[in-house]
Chains A and B, each alone.
Chain A
Amino acid sequence: MTPPGITPIPLRPDLAAVAAAVPEGARVLDIGCGDGQLLAWLRDTKGVEGRGIELDAGDVAAAVGRGLAVVQGDADTDLGDYADDAFDVVILSNTLQAMQRPAEVLAQLVRIGRSAVVSFPNFGHWRVRLSLALGGRMPVTRSLPVSWHETPNIHFCTIADFEALADQMRLTVQSRTGLAAGQPVTLWPNLLADTGVFVLSR
């Protein structure tokens, strides 16, 4: 917990939406945790016991430097090593679209965690649609800033697509939030939200 008088660094809006879905004191696995910003925030403000998985060695070093337990690894191959229900919450923030086999990863998330928080860029956002429909080009937007040939994102989906996959996999959607520039949108999220945040369970 953060000592009194110290204010933790504010989270990126999309991470804040993810963090909001994590209860106090939970055991949390953050897959694709980067330099550990979210995990450190959750530890310092919500007293969670956090672990992380991250592909990039430099990010792992930075996260370990924050005192986090982070393992360099690949969510596509390494999640099978974790026991059933090993965590209260498993987080996959802005990473699903870079997975080789997103459906398998989702199945692992809800196996390892009692609940899974998944955030992803919404490919149904109007800017994306506009870019394709009128410009005829793959979109480069705020939430998708890299050109198609350089992006690590190989499996884009819309909020509606994700909803359909969750349904097909018979996952329980505990909550769904659409974000536009970090703010929740309730009207037509598949059109107006740039990011989807889902809380899932088996």
Chain B
Amino acid sequence: MDTRFGLDRRVTLAGDFALAGGGVLPELTIAYETYGTLNANRSNAILVCHALTGDQYLASTHPITGKPGWWTRLVGPGKPVDPEHWFVICANVLGGCMGSTGPSSIDPRDGRAFAMRFPVITLSDMVAAQARLLDHLGIDCLAAVIGGSMGGMQALTWAVNHPARVKKVVAIATAARHSAQNIAFHEVGRQAIMADPNWAGGTYAPGKPPAAGLAVARMAAHITYLSEEGLTEKFGRRLQNRDTVSFGFDADFQVESYLRHQGLSFVERFDANSYLYITRAMDYFDLAEAHDGNLARAFAGVQARFCLVSFTSDWLYPTAESRRIVRALNAAGAPVSFVELESPFGHDAFLLDAPEMNRVVNGFLTA
């Protein structure tokens, strides 16, 4: 049994890890899981990249929440990404808080947590860290990289930064850049965290996090993951455990109660400084930036085939952003498939039951 493979793995790779923004980490720890078996010629590896608040518990029970893996609708027995056939890898991103090096990690140079001394990271850095993990696992080339939302941004970055290491890219509900509106919502979340006195310049003790600020950040962000139609359908103006409004500031409405619950439960499993750093990395993301805003040129050297999926009610990373990627890939001559699927559930649709998405991904992977 190779100890590099399996659930709940962690590896520390010694040596400096240089970052796109100029910072250097003295070592790199990556927490990850693998599912299935790597075949003899190492050609069946699929990397699944998680979104902003996701983690490596892709298809196994989450150690804190006890909930099933976050993408068991796509990954698992009988699903398009079936560990019976594929060797599936999912790693906690650089900057995360589930075991990979991040702001809550201890800086080995002085034995204290990095906190805000952690260097600002980018999506490219996250991908570079994953590439180091693949080196460690002995995988030269991925059969596919799959991701939704920020995971899709990583998948696209993989194809651009490591063209020879990726055969197929599945990028779902994502974009090739963060828009002004995307940045704006993230800034609201960051300011909520930093306005919480417990944040203390990022030096909070593990038992005394800026819970109120982080919860508000999550509440604001969560609205962007849903749609007006979805919210109306799910909650409408219905009241929470009462017949009339209280003429006070309790969570009178079900939607308020729901958001408060989302905020509070998020605090249990996520680190506030990680939230600052990862949202910053997303805001800095613009694949075309290094090519004078010309996305087609960013894709000029890609070797992968691409499959993009968007959802009609996703206003966080709307279909127009996927189409922009498709146009650029076409202009670059890269084989690309794209479909916009009907869904009332907003951005979150990619994590919910989406039989057509599964059909597309399955067809794309097996073809």
Contact: B342 with A69, CB < 8 Å? no
Stretch in A10-18, A54-62, A102-110 touching the partner: A54-62
Nearest Cβ on chain B to A68's Cβ, whole angstroms: 7
Q: Please, what's the 1-or-0 string for B297-325, where 1 marks a CB less than 8 Å from any CB in chain A? A: 00000000101000000000000000100
Contact: A64 with B342, CB < 8 Å? no
Residues on A with C-beta less than 8 A from B239 are none
The interface on chain B, measured as residues whose beta carbon lies within 8 A of the other chain's beta carbons, has a size of: 24
Nearest chain-B residue to A69 (Cβ)? B335
Among candidates A60, A67, A71, residue contacting B330 with C-beta atoms closer than 8 Å: A71
Q: Check B339 for interface membership: any CB of A closer than 8 A.
A: yes
Identify which of residues 139-193 in chain A touch chain B, using a CB-to-CB cut-off of 8 Å.
none
Which interface residue of B305, B330, B364 has the most chain A CB atoms within 10 A?
B330
Contact: A65 with B330, CB < 8 Å? no
Measured CA separation A32–B134 after assembly (Å): 40
Q: Check B14 for interface membership: any CB of A closer than 8 A.
A: no
Among candidates A64, A71, A86, residue contacting B363 with C-beta atoms closer than 8 Å: A64
Measured CA separation A58–B330 after assembly (Å): 21
Among candidates B333, B338, B367, residue contacting A71 with C-beta atoms closer than 8 Å: B338
Nearest Cβ on chain B to A51's Cβ, whole angstroms: 7
Among candidates B305, B333, B362, residue contacting A65 with C-beta atoms closer than 8 Å: B362
Nearest Cβ on chain B to A33's Cβ, whole angstroms: 11
Among candidates B305, B359, B362, residue contacting A69 with C-beta atoms closer than 8 Å: B305
Contact: A57 with B340, CB < 8 Å? yes
Q: Check A70 for interface membership: any CB of B closer than 8 A.
A: yes
Contact: A61 with B339, CB < 8 Å? yes
Nearest chain-B residue to A58 (Cβ)? B356
Q: Please, what's the 1-or-0 string for B321-356, where 1 marks a CB less than 8 Å from any CB in chain A? A: 001001100110101111111100000000000001
Binding site secondary structure of chain A: mixed
Q: Check B221 for interface membership: any CB of A closer than 8 A.
A: no
Measured CA separation A67–B365 after assembly (Å): 8
Known: A64-B307, A81-B331, A83-B331. A69 touches B337 (CB 8 A): yes
Known: A57-B339, A69-B305. A64 touches B360 (CB 8 A): yes
Among candidates A51, A65, A66, residue contacting B335 with C-beta atoms closer than 8 Å: A51
Nearest chain-B residue to A67 (Cβ)? B367
Contact: A57 with B341, CB < 8 Å? yes
Residues on B with C-beta less than 8 A from A67 are 363-364, 366-367
Q: Please, what's the 1-or-0 string for B236-253, where 1 marks a CB less than 8 Å from any CB in chain A? A: 000000000000000000
Known: A81-B330, A83-B331. A71 touches B336 (CB 8 A): yes
Contact: A69 with B336, CB < 8 Å? yes
Measured CA separation A172–B176 after assembly (Å): 41
Known: A67-B367, A71-B337, A83-B331. A57 touches B356 (CB 8 A): yes
Residues on B with C-beta less than 8 A from A58 are 356
Nearest chain-B residue to A29 (Cβ)? B330
Nearest Cβ on chain B to A184's Cβ, whole angstroms: 34
A-B contact sample (13 more), CB < 8 A, given A69-B305, A71-B330: A57-B339, A57-B342, A61-B359, A61-B363, A64-B339, A67-B367, A69-B337, A71-B338, A72-B338, A72-B339, A73-B338, A81-B330, A82-B330
A-B contact pairs, 9 of them (CB 8 A): A58-B356, A60-B360, A61-B356, A64-B339, A64-B360, A67-B364, A67-B367, A71-B338, A72-B339
Task: Give the B-binding residues of A (Cβ under 8 A).
Answer: 51, 57-58, 60-61, 63-73, 81-83, 86
